[in-house]
Amino acid sequence: MKTLLLLFLPVLASWCSGQETPNPEKGEQLQEKEIQAPPLANKVNNDSTPFRFLSYAERKTLSPLYHYFGGMTLKRTVWPVYEYRDSALDLLVKEIQPNVLLFNSLTGDYIPSQRLEYYDQNKKLVGKVPIDRYGPYKSLENKIIDFVFPDREYYTDPEDENHDCVFSNLPKADSFLLIPVLGVFPSGYTTVAYNLAKISTQGGYMVVGWEEKVLIYNPRGEEIARLSIPHDAHSYFVSSDGKYLVYLYGGSGDNPLDYCRESLHILEINTLQIIYEQHTKRGDYFIEESGKEDFLVLFYKIDGKAARVFFDLKSRTKYSRIFSPDELEEIGKNFKSFPDLLNKYSFNAEKI
């Protein structure tokens, strides 16, 4: 369904396997306060740095069997997952990042109390984020027919005979699919992206449009920004200092109107301005190393040769290089970190 995936460091073994687009609209900015991250004088550190650099086996051995939060006892299931279950209340609580709890339903049904809770290192509650089912689309409640991505067994795409994403005379949307997608990062920053698929039911069910509204929260559970994106975007990532939002859209995602528009965006959160845009091609993919250096890596090919672009969000620098097959093999065997690669190989560097 989404081929450009945000892949995490454990999948680094895949290392060696060999148009203009509109800016996000800013009409949906917060009305109550400025769209700027408040200073985190007592920023919650949701991560144990020495622990994260240990091997998987060492972390599993050292991790305790139970975590305790506000009277709840979460038991380690398959590490690193900790859970609390209450069948009588139809309640499932998961620690989805260190000191960040997600409250959900055991049966999979949506429950009004679905929320995130943020705790400090002393397991003291510091913030909550209610995850409303309709979010910013409450006004469309009576026209939303489901809360799932469009299944092509039941939903069709508009005709695109030339495969150029040029459509004419599309019917008007009269119904909608709404899909909230949650992203919580090791730093505690959170995104809730509300995907709105626009559906025409004239003579069947056809996807005729797409948009997303993205809400961003800091580690205290405070909303710091929201934006609208006229695309089926995915692979969101917030930098550990809360300054930048990165996302991908286009390609073979769920929005048929975006097949021809594949792009990477880096957006400055306090201004909601795009500071970097790179068009990609189908088959490119993306990983992030958020817990160490805030490195973002785009894998792609130039004339059949493997290329890598490293984005250092701390220094706002883009590093690019084409690797030989022998270099890729060596990297796959001896990879340590992205800064280590920058020291070993020469890269073209430019500020973004």
pLDDT tens for 124-161 read 899 888 888 899 999 999 999 998 889 888 898 888 87
Yes or no: say if 99 and 118 are a contact pair by the CB < 8 Å rule: yes
Residue 177: which of 204, 157, 206, 202 has the closest Cα?
A: 206
Yes or no: say if 187 and 100 are a contact pair by the CB < 8 Å rule: no
Q: How far apart are CA 202 and CA 210, in angstroms?
A: 17
**Is the pLDDT score of 26 beyond 70?**
no
Q: How far apart are CA 29 and CA 55, in angstroms?
A: 42
Q: Which of 40-44, 118-122, 346-350 has the lowest mean pLDDT?
A: 40-44
Q: 207 by DSSP, 3-state: which?
A: strand
Report the range out of 8-12, 214-218, 233-237, 307-311 with the highest average pLDDT.
214-218
- 14 is written with which tokens? 């895949």
Residue 83: which of 94, 91, 73, 68 has the closest Cα?
A: 94
86 strand-pairing partners: 91
What is the model's pTM?
0.75
Q: How far apart are CA 39 and CA 127, in angstroms?
A: 15
Q: How far apart are CA 59 and CA 47, in angstroms?
A: 13
Name the pLDDT band for 282 (thresholds 50, 70, 90): low
Name the pLDDT band for 30 (thresholds 50, 70, 90): very low
Q: 263 by DSSP, 3-state: which?
A: strand
**Is the pLDDT score of 253 beyond 60?**
yes
**Is the pLDDT score of 192 beyond 60?**
yes
pLDDT of residue 184: 86
Angle among Cα 241, 242, 248 to the nearest 5 degrees reads 120
pLDDT of residue 5: 35
What proportion of the chain, given as a percentage, has pLDDT over 70?
Answer: 75
Q: Is 136 exposed, middle or buried (0-12, 13-18, 19+ CB in 10 A)?
A: middle
